[in-house]
């Protein structure tokens, strides 16, 4: 048995893992896999390359496969058949629409299909006579209709003559005849449903207020079996049949349905299939995995495909949904059927909003690099999707949510976890942010007031254009002039850093996609073919991005210029250098950036080029086109798309966050000696200096000699004492 099988992983998946040369689970896998297999929500923080993708993909793949197997063999039906005959009143899990989810207690019903209605009936019915009552409370926004129906009625309550319903719009309905009745109801309202089989009447109450008689039951139907019934559209309701005290107890001799006994009650004959779609909707996957970038989504789907190599009969179908790929291909795949979907937020939102991708069967909701998703502004989207996903699946299982983050100490991630997750297990193998010992990081300050080289520059990097409408120039001393000067100097400083340290491979981080494009052109211009580079950001088409990343990994180009978002999940082994042309917006991203070097015990150098003055930059937070074709250089507080970027403050925040002072260097880019004393080759493993070892031995030699002499005396004394006692006994 392999180590993965000991954690409960299927032999078929364990075999695939073994073929990938994963002999032992990583720390995060050892912690997370059993938790997810056990049904818990998990919040994990671990570095890129720690195996966190496998930590959530392995158990999700296994559970999805087992669920498909159960559906094919009808195991879920047999389990629910028993519950249908339970002595307790509940909603019947086998007399429901395919998007109707019912909790194990049978009292909480939820349908998250925003496009259609889905209904269910109780597992028991009353017949013959009596005055019966039950309550339904609206526990989430949406459309609902509840009441009573016979066994011959359609699940879409109120659309045939055998069902009587009252809806949230204030309409009663029977046989598709919708008439005004009572008043509308919604979130947190409790509706009392009255069935008087003695007088043949049906009525409802809202929050304890009687709304009056709604229907006279036709004489030919009074001997029928009547079930509690509900139909929902993207809504949720909680029912009470009388096993617990009613919120608004009935009067005038009415009693809860749970009090029915003897000839007054009959069991449902529908214990399998009745009204349930035998085959789940093809475009309704069981797992949704959201990634912040195309590269991460592609990497995750590749991992899934490797893990399922030996899984078959049934086959788990996966689909990659990202922008830049023809939407028609993805929609065709959804129509054929999918079980696991992995994608980026934009395209996922498009398909979900148009009804091409349904969420009512989702049982796993995964947010990878969640801090990145939130910083990109996808918090509202995450909330909306979570609201549309059933909290209880159609087979009675609770929704599992898995969140991965670069750090669990992010305020936004913590608040989101508290709001959306169900008592999550925290797996923090990263801890508080700290700089690894293998990373040497330093700051080069750019002061345009003292370094006036910008005034006479004949060639400089193309700036971002935020000062096109400002009066700037060498004779001006305005904040705008110094801001433009910083932009010019940073391009020159970047080239100096490369040449000073003879950087053969480096990641160069710029704040915006425009800055990346400008830096790429500048390096090609200055280097004349020697400073080879590629660009990686979301405006480049997928084929170009994939090709550029591969060129950098293969060493065909020396530099990759990218934004924070594009770089997430990229793991390049032995990377020696990182240059931050601009500090990141979030202080946590500083660690994320410089942590690209210094991996696998290899030494790395990270240089940050930091302005001493505020810099005016683009900030398209409220821009309709997210910056594309935008030329509004006004500040955001007056309706524009620019802000003043305070790098001195950002640097102070980073140092406070890490509780350190980062080494300063000047524009010569001479790195301070300290522990990085010339014996280090960036990108190579650190070697112990022989001279230090020799000095250490010479210093300790007298003490070691003295200890050896004392040990010899102690041993001699022990032997002498032992033999003296031996001869004394013989005498």
- 3 state SS for 125-171: EECCCCEEEEEEEEEECCEEEEEEEECCCCCCCCCCCCEEEEECCCE
What one-character DSSP code corresponds to residue 615? E
pLDDT exceeds cutoff 80 at 139: yes
- Rounded average pLDDT over 246-260: 95
Placement of tokens 């950001």 in the chain: 537
pLDDT exceeds cutoff 50 at 696: no
**Listed residue (589, 594, 575, 584) closest to 437, CA to CA:** 594
Q: What is the pLDDT of residue 82?
A: 40
pLDDT exceeds cutoff 70 at 10: yes
Q: What is the pLDDT of residue 681?
A: 67
Tell me what percent of the residues of the chain surpass a pLDDT of 90. Answer: 52
Q: What is the pLDDT of residue 414?
A: 87
What one-character DSSP code corresponds to residue 263? G
**Mean pLDDT rounded to a whole number for the chain:** 85
> Does residue 678 or residue 293 have the better pLDDT?
293
Highest mean pLDDT out of 157-171, 269-283, 592-606: 157-171
Please list, residue by residue across 270-285, b when 16 or more beta carbons sit within 10 angstroms of its beta carbon and e when fewer do. bbeebbbeeebbebbb
**Range from 21-30, 574-583, 586-595, 676-685 carrying the lowest mean pLDDT:** 676-685
**Dihedral sign for Cα atoms in the order 577, 581, 583, 584:** negative
- Rounded Cα distance between 701 and 706, Å, is 9
- Rounded average pLDDT over 231-257: 94
Q: What is the pLDDT of residue 691?
A: 38
- Rounded average pLDDT over 541-561: 88
Q: What is the pLDDT of residue 108?
A: 92
Q: Each residue of 345-367: pLDDT tens digit?
A: 999 999 998 889 988 889 999 99
pLDDT exceeds cutoff 90 at 178: yes
pTM: 0.58
**Range from 479-483, 618-622, 677-681 carrying the lowest mean pLDDT:** 677-681
List for the chain the helix, strand, coil content (%; round to 5).
35, 25, 45
pLDDT exceeds cutoff 80 at 110: yes
- Rounded Cα distance between 284 and 358, Å, is 5
Q: pLDDT-based confidence at 692, cuts 50/70/90?
A: very low
> Does residue 477 or residue 126 have the better pLDDT?
126
Helix locations, 3-51, DSSP H: 3-6, 11-19, 27-37
Rg (CA), the chain: 34
- Rounded average pLDDT over 689-697: 43
Tokens of 608: 């940050």
**Range from 370-384, 493-507, 555-569, 684-698 carrying the lowest mean pLDDT:** 684-698
Cβ atoms 645, 486 nearer than 8 A: no
Cβ atoms 505, 555 nearer than 8 A: yes
Non-local (6+) Cβ contacts of 633 within 8 A are 465, 466, 467, 468, 469, 470, 640, 641, 642
What is the phi/psi pair of residue 667, to 5°?
-75, 0
- Rounded Cα distance between 186 and 138, Å, is 6
Quick one: 447 exposed, middle or buried, by C-beta within 10 A (0-12, 13-18, 19+)? middle
Q: Concatenated DSSP letters for 290-308?
A: E-SSHHHHHHHHHHHHHHT
pLDDT exceeds cutoff 50 at 24: yes
Give the CA angle between residues 71, 41, 376 to the nearest 5°.
110
Q: Each residue of 654-669: pLDDT tens digit?
A: 998 888 999 999 999 9
Q: What is the pLDDT of residue 78?
A: 39
Q: pLDDT-based confidence at 587, cuts 50/70/90?
A: confident
Q: pLDDT-based confidence at 277, cuts 50/70/90?
A: very low
pLDDT exceeds cutoff 70 at 396: no
Q: pLDDT-based confidence at 730, cuts 50/70/90?
A: low
Non-local (6+) Cβ contacts of 131 within 8 A are 194, 195, 196, 197, 198, 252, 253, 254, 255
Q: pLDDT-based confidence at 710, cuts 50/70/90?
A: confident
Tokens of 456: 């006479």
- Rounded average pLDDT over 702-714: 75
pLDDT exceeds cutoff 60 at 299: yes
- Rounded average pLDDT over 715-720: 71
Q: Concatenated DSSP letters for 425-494?
A: EEEESS-S----TTEEEEEEEE-TTT-GGGGG-SS-----STTTTS---TT--SHHHHHHHHHHHHHHHH
Cis ω for the linkage preceding 314 (within 30 of 0): yes
Helices 379-388 and 411-420: crossing angle in degrees, nearest 10, is 10
pLDDT exceeds cutoff 50 at 84: no
Q: Concatenated DSSP letters for 629-643?
A: T----SBGGGT-SEE
Tokens of 28: 């995060």
């Amino acid at each position: 048995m392999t180590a993965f099988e000991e954690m409960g992983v299927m032999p078929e998946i364990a075999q695939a893992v073994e073929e990938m040369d994963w002999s032992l689970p990583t720390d995060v896998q050892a912690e997370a896999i059993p938790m997810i297999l056990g049904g818990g929500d998990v919040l994990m923080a671990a570095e890129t390359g720690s195996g966190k993708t496998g930590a959530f993909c392995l158990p999700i793949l296994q559970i999805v496969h087992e669920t498909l197997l159960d559906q094919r063999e009808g195991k879920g039906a047999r389990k629910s058949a028993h519950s249908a005959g339970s002595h307790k009143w509940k909603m019947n899990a086998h007399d429901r629409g395919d998007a109707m989810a019912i909790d194990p207690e049978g009292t909480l019903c939820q349908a998250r299909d925003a496009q259609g209605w889905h209904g269910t009936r109780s597992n028991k019915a009353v017949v013959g006579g009596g005055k019966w009552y039950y309550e339904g409370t609206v526990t989430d926004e949406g459309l609902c209709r509840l009441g009573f129906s016979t066994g011959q009625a359609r699940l879409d309550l109120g659309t045939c003559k055998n069902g009587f319903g009252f809806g949230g719009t204030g309409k009663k309905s029977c046989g598709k005849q919708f008439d005004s009745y009572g008043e509308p109801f919604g979130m947190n309202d409790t509706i009392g449903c009255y069935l008087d089989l003695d007088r043949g009447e049906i009525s409802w109450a809202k929050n304890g207020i009687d709304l009056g008689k709604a229907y006279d039951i036709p004489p030919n139907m009074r001997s029928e079996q009547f079930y509690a019934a509900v139909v929902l559209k993207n809504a949720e309701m909680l029912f009470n049949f009388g096993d617990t005290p009613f919120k608004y107890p009935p009067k005038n001799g009415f009693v809860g349905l749970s009090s029915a006994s003897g000839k007054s009650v009959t069991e449902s004959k529908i214990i399998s299939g009745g009204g349930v779609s035998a085959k789940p909707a093809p475009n309704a996957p069981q797992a949704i995995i959201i990634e912040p970038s195309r590269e991460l989504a592609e990497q995750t789907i590749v991992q899934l495909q490797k893990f399922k190599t030996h899984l078959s009969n049934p086959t788990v179908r996966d689909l990659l949904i990202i922008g830049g790929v023809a939407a028609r291909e993805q929609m065709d795949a959804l129509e054929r059927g999918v079980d696991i979907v992995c994608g980026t937020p934009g395209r996922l939102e498009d398909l979900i909003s148009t009804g091409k991708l349904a969420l009512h069967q989702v049982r796993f909701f995964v947010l990878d690099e969640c801090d990145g998703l939130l910083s990109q502004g996808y918090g509202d989207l995450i909330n909306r999707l979570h609201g549309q996903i059933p909290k209880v699946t159609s087979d009675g299982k609770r929704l599992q949510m898995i969140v991965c983050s670069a750090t669990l100490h992010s305020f936004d991630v913590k608040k989101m976890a508290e709001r959306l997750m169900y008592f999550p297990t925290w797996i923090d193998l990263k801890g508080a942010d700290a700089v690894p010992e293998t990373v040497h990081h330093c700051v080069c300050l750019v002061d345009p007031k003292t370094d006036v080289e910008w005034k006479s520059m004949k060639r400089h990097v193309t700036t971002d254009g935020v000062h096109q409408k400002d009066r700037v120039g060498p004779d001006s001393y305005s904040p705008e002039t110094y801001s433009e000067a910083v932009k010019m100097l940073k391009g020159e400083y970047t080239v100096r850093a490369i040449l000073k340290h003879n950087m053969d491979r480096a990641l160069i981080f710029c704040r915006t996609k425009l800055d990346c494009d400008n830096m790429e052109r500048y390096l090609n211009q200055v280097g004349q073919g020697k400073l080879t580079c590629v660009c990686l950001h979301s405006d480049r088409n997928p084929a170009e991005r994939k090709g550029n990343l591969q060129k950098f990994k293969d060493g065909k180009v020396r530099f990759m210029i990218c934004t924070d978002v594009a770089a997430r999940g990229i793991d390049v082994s032995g990377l020696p250098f990182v240059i931050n042309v601009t500090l990141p917006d979030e202080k946590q991203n500083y660690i994320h950036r410089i942590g690209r070097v210094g991996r696998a015990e290899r030494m790395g150098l990270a240089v940050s080029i930091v302005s001493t003055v505020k810099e005016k930059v683009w900030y398209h937070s409220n821009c309709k086109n997210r910056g594309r074709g935008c030329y509004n250089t006004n500040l955001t507080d007056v309706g524009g798309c620019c802000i003043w970027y305070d790098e001195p403050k950002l640097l102070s925040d980073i140092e406070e966050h890490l509780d350190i002072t980062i080494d300063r260097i000047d524009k010569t880019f001479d790195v301070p000696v300290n522990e990085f004393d010339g014996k280090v080759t960036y990108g190579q493993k650190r070697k112990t200096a022989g001279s230090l070892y020799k000095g250490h031995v010479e210093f300790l030699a007298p003490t070691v000699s003295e200890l050896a002499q004392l040990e010899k005396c102690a041993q001699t004394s022990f032997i002498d004492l032992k033999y003296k006692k031996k001869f004394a006994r013989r005498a």
